[in-house]
Amino acid sequence: MAEKITPRSQDFSQWYQDVVLQAKLADYSPVKGCMVIRPNGYAIWEQIQKDLDRRIKKTGVRNAYFPMLIPESFLKREAQHVEGFAPEVAVVTYAGGKELEEKLVIRPTSETIINSMFAKWIQSYRDLPLLINQWANVVRWEMRTRLFLRTTEFLWQEGHTCHATPEEAELETRQMLEVYTKFAEETLAIPVIPGRKSENEKFAGALSTYCIEAMMQDAKALQAGTSHNLSSNFAKAFDTQFLDKDGKQKHVHQTSWGVSTRLIGGMIMTHSDDKGLVLPPKLATTHVVIIPIMAKVETKDQVLAACEKVSQSILDDAGIQKLPYDTGIFIDKDEQKQPGWKFFEYELTGIPVRIEVGPRDLEKGQVVLTRRDEGKKEFIPLADVPARVSAILIDMQKSLLEKARAHRDANTHRTETYEEFKAQIDKVGGFHVSPWCQSRECEAQVKEETKATIRCLPLDADYQTIPEPGKCMACGAAGPNIRAIFARSY
């Protein structure tokens, strides 16, 4: 039997690490801060890629690939950008046995190298909008790392678009935020709050940054994706211009947006439990594991034949075929391992549905079916198995989202005063939708005193309703306040 997973109630952080390591999703590597994504984890990333890539392409974006190495001077062309990223970059100084004339940084993000190409490709308004995405690895030298959530090297997609007007750039920024929102909720089953970042938290080089914020089971926040309106900041730095319809040369207006392997960590911390991984069916590759009970020699062949039949009946079912993914079924015929070991293993690795096929149940024309997130055994007549499986897969995808949303809402508070906030954030964590005067000073004060940051200024009007005039939580100013979500975060 494998090691035991630390219960969430005892140590949430240790629980997370236990789940990731024991379910073989990822492992520590010999390179500081870099992780290995193991097959069980990479299969989730492949499902994420497939689903999100389809959504991105539907908006007219096409994939491309730009060099990973960026001349150091490129980073310096946009003042805020270099300030933000220079401390985090890994630098190549030698290559091919020689010292390089110009150092190269490994991309921490690709606005600069991509703009150097955009400047070459874009001539006139006919070349716009230019909508590009790339799936790539990036490196940001991190001090404190955590598997999936914060690693020195990570995998992501980064979209980069060019537009003729500021309005179109803003529309694109918001459209991609919407794509991420739907993707998070529909596929990852993670409810998110779309919002705008404060000036202090925005991307280095952006006019404004939008984000989606999720709440983990420990009531801490996780930034799950960002979409930046870059205005013409990089276009000016790289002279990315176009000849407009009016015959004038203008700088393009740009956006960039990305999500990363961090989503896998967020998904784990949203749904999983003390038995291990709980996987939304849309992210699974194996949806059903069938376990033959082979204790008795005389019934073994009959049990195995029934397993094959059950598997085929599921695959052939019209309801199953209507699911928006290929349903994966695995019959674990390994006789070296006991059924109990298998139950434990497939709970740990998050297979959504487990079916036990044993000789006594077969006599009654039934099997035992267990849904991973609920864990209750059901006896299902053989003929009803396919319908039950498809109903569970559909319901599980939905109910994981609902459960996470209920948890999020239960831990979201309208906190009006700083005293109340300080008491709450220590005691229960959570999101605090509180009035803020929009000054950097108040934001900094809250961060320093409570380690809570402004996660976003939510776009949804519901969050913004301020019933009374509302005084800034930090300084008490009655001024024109807005509501920000304050929380501790990953």
- Do 435 and 486 touch, CB atoms closer than 8 A? no
The DSSP code sequence of 182-213 is HHHHHTS----EEEE--GGGS-TT-SEEEEEE
Query: Who contacts 35 (Cβ-Cβ below 8 Å, separation ≥6)?
Result: 26, 27, 28, 29, 145, 147, 148, 151, 153
Could you tell me which stretch among 62-70, 162-170, 186-194, 464-472 binds its own copies (CB under 8 A)? 62-70
Provide the token pair at 297: 């020699």
Could you tell me which stretch among 39-47, 302-310, 358-366, 417-425 binds its own copies (CB under 8 A)? 39-47
* In the complex, minimum distance from the CB of residue 102 to its own copies, in angstroms, rounded to a whole number: 9
With respect to its own copies, which residue has the nearer C-beta, 183 or 238?
Answer: 238
- Do 395 and 456 touch, CB atoms closer than 8 A? no
| Residues of this chain, 361-420, that bind its own copies according to CB under 8 A | none
* In the complex, minimum distance from the CB of residue 412 to its own copies, in angstroms, rounded to a whole number: 35
- Do 486 and 455 touch, CB atoms closer than 8 A? yes
Binders of its own copies: how many residues, by CB under 8 A?
56
Dihedrals phi, psi of 204, to nearest 5 degrees? -70, 100
- Closest to 208 measured CA to CA, from 226, 224, 225, 221: 226
Query: Who contacts 455 (Cβ-Cβ below 8 Å, separation ≥6)?
Result: 193, 195, 211, 213, 221, 223, 431, 484, 485, 486, 487, 489
34 binds its own copies (CB under 8 A): yes
CA 339, 344, 350, 355: dihedral to nearest 10 degrees? 30
Could you tell me which stretch among 33-41, 179-187, 211-219, 314-322 binds its own copies (CB under 8 A)? 33-41
| Residues of this chain, 310-369, that bind its own copies according to CB under 8 A | 336
User: What's the rounded Cα separation, in Å, for the pair 327 and 312?
Assistant: 11
With respect to its own copies, which residue has the nearer C-beta, 127 or 317?
Answer: 127
With respect to its own copies, which residue has the nearer C-beta, 74 or 436?
Answer: 74
Q: Which of 11, 13, 14, 39 binds its own copies (CB under 8 A)?
A: 39
Q: Could you give the 3-state DSSP secondary structure of residue 460? A: coil
Pairing state of beta strands 353-357 and 241-243?
unpaired
Among the residues of 246-296, which ranges form H helices?
262-271
- Do 202 and 215 touch, CB atoms closer than 8 A? no
Nearest-5° Cα angle at 156, 126 to 93: 95
With respect to its own copies, which residue has the nearer C-beta, 54 or 440?
Answer: 54
* In the complex, minimum distance from the CB of residue 302 to its own copies, in angstroms, rounded to a whole number: 28
| Residues of this chain, 75-104, that bind its own copies according to CB under 8 A | 86-97, 104
Q: Which of 54, 120, 245, 364 binds its own copies (CB under 8 A)?
A: 120
Binding mask 135-164 for its own copies (x = CB under 8 A): -xx-x-xxx--------xx-x---------
Pairing state of beta strands 288-292 and 329-331?
parallel
Could you tell me which stretch among 112-120, 244-252, 435-443, 457-465 binds its own copies (CB under 8 A)? 112-120
Could you tell me which stretch among 25-33, 225-233, 290-298, 432-440 binds its own copies (CB under 8 A)? 25-33
With respect to its own copies, which residue has the nearer C-beta, 157 or 450?
Answer: 157
Could you tell me which stretch among 34-42, 302-310, 366-374, 380-388 binds its own copies (CB under 8 A)? 34-42
**What do you get for the CA distance between the two ends of the chain, in Å?**
32
Q: Which of 51, 56, 75, 116 binds its own copies (CB under 8 A)?
A: 116
Q: Which of 19, 23, 35, 176 binds its own copies (CB under 8 A)?
A: 35
Instruction: Report how far apart, in Å, the C-alpha atoms of 417 and of each of 426, 436, 450 are.
Output: 15, 11, 14
63 binds its own copies (CB under 8 A): yes
48 binds its own copies (CB under 8 A): no
With respect to its own copies, which residue has the nearer C-beta, 240 or 299?
Answer: 240
Q: Which of 126, 144, 376, 427 binds its own copies (CB under 8 A)?
A: 126
Interface residues with its own copies (CB under 8 A)?
Answer: 27, 29-31, 34-39, 42-43, 45-46, 62-71, 74, 86-97, 104, 106, 113, 116-117, 120-121, 126, 132, 136-137, 139, 141-143, 152-153, 155, 336
